[in-house]
Amino acid sequence: MTTLTLRDITVSLGHGDARTPVLRGLSASCRPGMLTALVGPSGSGKSTLLAVAGALLRPDGGQVLLGDTDLALLGDGERAKVRRERIGYMFQSGNLLGGLTAVEQLLAAASVAGRPARRQRAAAETALAEVGLGHRLKHRADQLSGGERQRVALARALFLEPDLLLIDEPTAAVDREQAGALTELIARRAAERGCVALVATHDPVVVDAAAEVMEM
Ligand code: ADP
Ligand code: MG
């Protein structure tokens, strides 16, 4: 089981006069097997922190330790490999591939992670049913609502069985009943798989279900 440890992370974003310090010496640790809620006001740097933890954004300083590996020190190619193979990421926007159906989104991600898509279709369909999208398997990204796209992205992140699940505001675009169900699914998967699940959220439903709460 892999722990995520952030040590003294600093990040500034933007260029020239617009350059803004966003994270100033942030340190935190997320234990595997449980849901950690990442809370803080809008603009406090939650999405930025997820990008750093997910090896999408290299911090200006500090360590990003996934187990023994410092993601901040890896080259671009190695970072991409870690992202494909060990990290499941659900962006606020969903970030799906245009033109692919819901099932194909999961199969494509598995294939990119080096897992042949053959024989995975049934598992992909189950993963979509678990987020309440059993009736949308063959819809393309552009035929889904914002909340449905987010749920496809969540199913895709879970389907990869990553060491590190990074989830950005998963319940913002769904009703309260779904918010509870999705939160329970994330917490259950973290427990079953022993992965880190870091979830940026404003939602009391998620915060109440979290084993740990990290405040920005
Ligand atoms: P949160 O997810 O908590 O709402 P974000 O991580 O998205 O916060 O943003 C943190 C801060 O970083 C915000 O104040 C935002 O304005 C700033 N920021 C984000 N991107 C840029 C950028 N490209 N240039 C300058 N500032 C940025
Ligand atoms: Mg955000």
CATH code, domain carrying 35: 3.40.50.300
Query: Which distant-in-sequence residues (6+ apart) come within 8 Å of 147 by Cβ?
Result: 173, 174, 178
Structural domain span for residue 11: 4-95+151-215
Residue 207 one-letter amino acid: V
Whether 109 is covered by a domain: the verdict is no
Residue range 79-134, pLDDT digits in tens? 999 999 999 999 877 688 888 999 999 999 998 888 876 778 999 999 999 999 99
Whether 208 is covered by a domain: the verdict is yes
Number of domains in the chain: 1
> Ligand 1 centroid vs 154 CA: distance in angstroms?
23
Q: What is the pLDDT of residue 39?
A: 97
Please give the average per-residue pLDDT across 126-151, as a whole number.
93
Tokens for 23, please give them: 């994270």
Residue with CA closest to ligand 1 atom 25: 14
CA distance 207 to 39: 8
Whether 112 is covered by a domain: the verdict is no
Whether 46 is covered by a domain: the verdict is yes
Are 209 and 183 in contact, with CB atoms under 8 Å apart? yes
Q: Among 1-5, 6-10, 92-96, whose mean pLDDT is lowest?
A: 92-96
For ligand 1, pick from 10, 12, 19, 20 the residue to mutate: most ligand atoms within 8 Å of CB.
20
Whether 39 is covered by a domain: the verdict is yes
Host H or E run for residue 5: strand 4-13
Whether 120 is covered by a domain: the verdict is no
Whether 156 is covered by a domain: the verdict is yes
20 CB within 6 A, ligand 1: yes
The mean pLDDT of the chain is 93
Residue with CA closest to ligand 1 atom 21: 13
122 CB within 6 A, ligand 1: no
pLDDT band at 76 (very low <50, low <70, confident <90, very high): very high
Whether 210 is covered by a domain: the verdict is yes
CA distance 170 to 161: 18
* Nearest-atom index, ligand 1, CA of 168: 2
* Nearest-atom index, ligand 1, CA of 14: 24
44 CB within 6 A, ligand 1: yes
Q: What is the pLDDT of residue 115?
A: 82
Residue with CA closest to ligand 1 atom 27: 13
